[in-house]
Structure formats: structure tokens, C-alpha cells
């Protein structure tokens, strides 16, 4: 779940072919009108979504298709991103500067993409099966966590200025 506007939240679903819904602070559900999502009902931990309000960009991961979908919610355009470095993407976030960071769980790494889906780099992380990530508001630190049995941890990484472009 993440904020779209001060009064709307974007929520990932499971066991529902509506992969992402919007919920208002009043509890009213709405669907994206201009976005064509995959027509499959994901199970728990098979897909997550994140939204970047300033760029009208929605990112949806498909863990077992090894794919990251990037949507422009205003134009209604989408890009399906598959690279060898993206294996079991569990989570994603949109960074300041409008790039996307993706947990590549099976590669024990974070993959860096443009919002157009172009590959920027792969960064190994000091953990097995990264599960979730978040970039701090100022864009200079990255938090990555894992929930691997017996190895749960949270790591903080400094983002170098060369990555901020």
C-alpha cells in the first residue's frame, strides 16, 4: 500500500484479477481507468505495486514471470521489463530522479531501471533473497530487507551521487 494523493492510496491485491486498486480515505474503491494490467490473480507475495505521484508512474512486479511492469497512469502506456538480472522481483520503488529500484530476490541484488524500463545497473546486496526496499526521501539512502528464514535483516546503503542522475 502506498499513497497516490493525500486522499487516495494504491493497494496491491491478491486472489483478484484487479491487480491494483485505489482506495480513498473514505473507503471507496476505484479501478485505474487507463491502465491494462495483466489478467491474472496473483497469490500472496507474487506481486507488489508502488506508485510515484510526481511522475504518475505505477510499478507492478510479477515474481514468477520475472517481469516488472511500469505504467504511466495518465497516458495509459505500459512497459514490460524483463532482464536476466531480474529474477523473482518481489518489490520495487520509484526514486527521486524518477528511476526504479527492484528487489531481484533470486539474484540477491537490486536492479536499477529508468521509468521507461531501460537497464541502469545491478547492485549486489549483503543478504539472501532481498524482499522489500525503500529509498529515503532525500534519495541518498536505500533500505533493503529480507525475510529469509534464519537470516532476517535490514541493511542501509548509501546511494552514490553518480546514481542520482
**Hey, where are the domains in the chain?**
44-163
The residues of the chain scoring below 70 in pLDDT are: 1, 4, 161-165
The span from the CA of 130 to the CA of 85, in Å, is: 13
pLDDT at residue 10 in the model: 83
Residue whose C-alpha cell is 512486479: 61
Give the pLDDT score at 164.
46
Please tell me the distance from the alpha carbon of residue 83 to that of residue 71, in angstroms, as a whole number: 17
Q: Which CATH architecture group holds 44-163? A: 6 Propeller (2.120)
Which pLDDT belongs to residue 165? 46
Q: Whose CA is closest to 52, among 99, 91, 12, 122?
A: 99
Amino acid at each position: 500500500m502506498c499513497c497516490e494523493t493525500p486522499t487516495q492510496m494504491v493497494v496491491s491485491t491478491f486472489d483478484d484479477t484487479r491487480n491494483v486498486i485505489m482506495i480513498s480515505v473514505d473507503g471507496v474503491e476505484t479501478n485505474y481507468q487507463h491502465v491494462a494490467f495483466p489478467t491474472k490473480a496473483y497469490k500472496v507475495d507474487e506481486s507488489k505495486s508502488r506508485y510515484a505521484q510526481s511522475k504518475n508512474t505505477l510499478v507492478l512486479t510479477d515474481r514468477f514471470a520475472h517481469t516488472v511492469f511500469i505504467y504511466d497512469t495518465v497516458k495509459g502506456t505500459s512497459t514490460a521489463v524483463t532482464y536476466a538480472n531480474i529474477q523473482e522481483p518481489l518489490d520495487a520503488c520509484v526514486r527521486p530522479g524518477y528511476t526504479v529500484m527492484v528487489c531481484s530476490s533470486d539474484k540477491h541484488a537490486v536492479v536499477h531501471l529508468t521509468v521507461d524500463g531501460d537497464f541502469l545497473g545491478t547492485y549486489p546486496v549483503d543478504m539472501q533473497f532481498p524482499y522489500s526496499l525503500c529509498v529515503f526521501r532525500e534519495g541518498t539512502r536505500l533500505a533493503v530487507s529480507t525475510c529469509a528464514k534464519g537470516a532476517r535483516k535490514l541493511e542501509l546503503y548509501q546511494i552514490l551521487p553518480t546514481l542520482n542522475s
